[in-house]
C-alpha cells in the first residue's frame, strides 16, 4: 500500500485551563489520548469521525488544519509532519488541506461581502492572474455549484440564508480543489431539507474530483449515509474503526453498540426497544488520566481490568479495529 495521505500516530493533546497567578488551581484536560488513524491516498474516501461532545473531534480537526499544535505524537501528511509543512511549505499544505466549519454564519467576516472568502484564496494561492480572470473564475465556479452569481455576489453574509452560506463555502472548496476536506459538523446548523444538496456535493467531489474528506460529526445517521469508513471516538480515544457497513450493522465495541442503539431513527416503526436507564447515562466520576478504559464507568460489561488498564487499539478482522478487553 502506498504512503497514506494522513497518518496520525499516538496523537495526544492536553489543554491546561485556569491557573495564572497560581491562585486558581490548574486543571488539565486530555482532549485526545494516543489517537491513531490513517486516511489512505490511493482512492478518495469520506472517513467519518464520530463522537459526542467532549470526545475531542473538533480538537482533532483543528490540529490537522494546523490551527492547534499537538502535545505528543505525530501527525503526518504525505509522510511529513504537519508542523514541518507549516513552517517550510505552509501555502502548499494549505492548498491541499481545507476546512468546512460548523457555523455558516460566523465563518464570514461581517464587514466584507461574501465573495471576499473566494477572492482571498484566489489571491493568496495565485489562482488568477488578473482581476477580470478572478471574476470569471468566481462566476464559473458558482455556476458549477448550481448557484447564481447574480443572486449572491455583492451581498453581505447576513443577507444570505444558512444553507446558501454553507453552499458558498463548498464553492470555495471547489475553487481550491484540495486533496482533503476537514468538515466539522457542517450540517448541524442547516435545515434538514437542504442537507441532501450539501451531502450530494461532498460525494460528487469525492467521485468526480478525487477529494477525500474527514467528516466529523455526532450524527450517526448522516455518517452512515455519506461515509465509507467510520471511526468512533470516546473521550479522546478511538474505540472502534472499520468500514461503514460493518460498524453500523455489526458494532463490536460496547460504546459503539450503545451509540447505535441510542440514535433516533426517523421511522415510527423502528422505535427504541430498550429504555435507557436514566440514572446511568451520566455520572460524576471523573476519569483519572491514563487509568483504565475511557468507557469503563458506563460499560455494562466492565470488569476489573477495564478500570485499570487502557485497552489498545487492535486489528481484529480485516480492516476492523477495536479497543476493548472483550
Partner 1 sequence: MESESMSVLEVQNLKIYYESVWGSYKAIDGASFKAYRNEVFSIAGESGCGKSTLVDGILRLVKPPGYIPEGRVIFEGTDLLGIPEDELRRIRWVKIAYVPQGAMSSLNPVIRVEEQMTDAMIDHGSMNKEEARELAISMLKEVGLPVEVARMYPHELSGGMKQRVIIATAIALKPILIITDEPTTALDVIVQKGILELLGSLKEKYGMTVIVVSHDMAAHAQIADRIAIMYAGKVVEIGSIHDIFEEPLHPYTKGLISAIPAMGKKSIKGIPGLAPSPLDWPQGCRFHPRCPYARDICSEVEPSMKEVSPGRHLACHP
Partner 2 sequence: MSELLGTLKRRVSGFISLFKRSLALRVGVALLLLLIFLAIFQPIIDQYRLEGHEATDLGYFEKFLPPSLKHPLGTDQFGRDVLGLHLTGLKFSLIVGALAGSVATLISVCTAIIAGYRGGKIDSILNGVTNSILVIPSLPILMVVAFYTRLDLVSMCLTLAAFSWPWSTRVIRAQVLSLKERTYVDLAKVSGENHFEIMFAEILPNLIPYIIVGLGFSVIGAIFAETGLRIIGLGPTTVVSLGLLIQQALQYGLLTQKRYAEIMSLVLLLMSIFISINLINKGMDEAFNPRLKKVTGE
Q: Which residues bind to partner 1, rule: CB under 8 A?
A: 52-53, 161-164, 191-197, 199, 218-222, 224-226, 248, 258-260, 262-269, 271-272, 275-279, 281-282, 284
To the nearest whole angstrom, how small is the minimum distance from the Cβ of residue 94 to partner 2?
Answer: 5
CB neighbour burial string for 278-295, b if at least 16 within 10 angstroms, e if fewer: eeeeeeeeebeeeebbbb
Positive or negative CA dihedral for 141, 144, 145, 148?
positive
Which residue reads 467521485 in cell numbers? 207
Residue 125, binding choice from partner 1, partner 2, none, Cβ under 5 to 8 Å by partner class: partner 2
- Among partner 2, partner 1, none, what binds residue 116 when CB lies within 5 to 8 Å by partner kind? partner 2
Q: Closest Cα partner for 180 from 47, 11, 10?
A: 47
Name the binder of 120 from partner 2, partner 1, none, CB < 5-8 A by kind: partner 2
* Angle, in degrees to the nearest 10, between helices 116-124 and 131-144: 120
125 versus 225: smaller Cβ distance to partner 1:
225
Side-chain half-sphere of 29: how many Cα atoms within 13 Å?
A: 11
CB of 300 to partner 1, least distance (A): 13
**Shorter beta-carbon distance to partner 2: residue 94 or 152:** 94
Q: Residues for the chain: how many in total?
A: 326
Regarding 190 and contact with partner 2 (CB under 8 A), the answer is: no
Tell me how far the alpha carbon of residue 212 is from its chain's centroid: 12
Place of cell 511549505: 89
- H/E stretch holding 242: strand 237-243
- Please report, as residue ranges, which positions from 122 to 181 form the binding site for partner 2 (by CB under 8 A): 124-125
Residue 192 binding result from partner 2, partner 1, none, given CB thresholds of 5 to 8 Å by partner type: partner 1
Distance (Å, whole) CA 323 – CA 311: 5
* Whether the Cβ atoms of residue 117 and residue 123 lie closer than 8 Å to each other: no
Applying CB under 8 A, which of residues 60, 121, 238, 313 lies at the interface with partner 2? 121
Instruction: Say if residues 63 and 13 touch (Cβ distance below 8 Å).
Output: yes
How far is Cα 234 from Cα 241, in angstroms, rounded to an integer?
12
Q: Which is nearer to partner 1, 98 or 166 (CB)?
A: 166
Shortest distance (Å) from residue 108 CB to partner 2? 6
Residue 88 vs 90, nearer CB to partner 2:
90
Q: How far is the CB of 273 from partner 2 (least distance, A)?
A: 40
| Beta carbon of residue 48, minimum distance to partner 1 (angstroms, whole number) | 12
- Residues near partner 2 (CB under 8 A), total: 26
What φ, ψ does residue 71 adopt, rounded to 5°? -85, -50
Q: Do 160 and 153 touch, CB atoms closer than 8 A? A: no
- Find the shortest distance in angstroms from Cβ 55 to partner 2: 20
74 binds, among partner 1, partner 2, none (CB under 5 to 8 A by kind): none
Question: Of residues 67, 209, 281, 289, which one binds partner 2 by CB under 8 A?
Answer: 67
Other C-beta atoms closer than 10 Å to the C-beta of 276 total 11
**Run of H or E residues at 13:** strand 6-17
**Stretch 87-116 residues interacting with partner 2 (CB under 8 A):** 90-91, 94, 97-99, 101, 103, 106-113, 116
Which residues contact partner 2 by CB under 8 A?
65-67, 90-91, 94, 97-99, 101, 103, 106-113, 116-117, 119-121, 124-125
Amino acid at each position: 500500500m502506498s504512503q497514506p495521505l494522513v497518518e496520525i500516530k499516538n496523537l495526544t493533546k492536553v489543554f491546561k485551563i485556569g491557573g495564572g497567578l497560581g491562585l486558581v488551581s490548574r486543571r488539565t484536560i486530555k482532549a485526545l489520548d494516543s489517537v491513531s488513524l490513517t486516511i489512505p491516498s490511493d482512492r478518495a474516501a469520506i472517513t467519518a469521525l464520530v463522537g459526542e461532545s467532549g470526545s475531542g473531534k473538533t480538537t482533532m480537526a483543528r490540529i490537522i488544519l494546523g490551527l492547534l499544535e499537538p502535545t505528543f505524537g505525530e501527525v503526518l501528511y504525505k509522510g511529513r509532519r504537519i508542523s514541518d509543512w507549516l513552517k517550510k511549505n505552509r501555502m502548499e499544505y494549505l492548498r491541499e488541506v481545507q476546512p468546512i466549519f460548523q457555523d455558516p454564519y460566523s465563518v464570514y467576516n461581517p464587514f466584507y461581502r461574501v465573495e471576499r472568502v473566494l477572492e482571498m484564496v484566489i489571491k493568496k494561492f495565485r489562482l488568477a492572474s488578473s482581476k477580470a480572470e478572478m471574476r470569471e473564475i468566481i462566476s464559473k465556479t458558482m455556476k458549477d455549484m448550481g448557484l447564481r452569481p447574480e443572486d449572491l455576489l455583492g451581498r453581505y453574509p447576513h443577507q444570505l440564508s444558512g444553507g446558501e452560506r454553507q453552499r458558498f463555502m463548498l464553492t470555495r472548496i471547489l475553487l481550491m480543489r484540495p486533496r482533503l476536506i476537514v468538515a466539522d459538523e457542517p450540517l448541524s446548523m442547516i435545515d434538514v431539507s437542504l442537507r441532501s444538496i450539501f451531502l450530494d456535493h461532498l460525494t460528487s467531489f469525492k467521485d468526480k474530483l478525487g477529494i477525500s474528506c474527514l467528516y466529523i460529526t455526532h450524527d450517526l445517521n448522516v455518517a452512515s449515509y455519506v461515509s465509507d469508513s467510520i471511526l468512533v471516538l470516546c473521550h479522546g480515544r478511538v474505540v472502534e474503526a472499520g468500514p461503514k457497513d460493518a460498524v453500523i450493522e455489526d458494532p463490536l465495541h460496547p460504546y459503539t453498540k450503545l451509540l447505535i442503539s441510542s440514535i433516533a431513527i426517523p421511522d415510527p416503526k423502528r422505535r427504541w426497544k430498550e429504555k435507557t436507564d436514566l440514572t446511568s447515562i451520566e455520572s460524576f466520576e471523573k476519569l483519572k488520566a491514563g487509568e483504565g478504559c475511557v468507557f469503563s464507568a458506563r460499560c455494562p460489561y466492565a470488569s476489573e481490568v477495564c478500570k485499570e488498564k487502557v485497552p489498545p487499539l487492535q486489528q481484529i478482522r480485516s480492516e476492523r479495529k477495536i479497543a476493548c478487553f472483550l
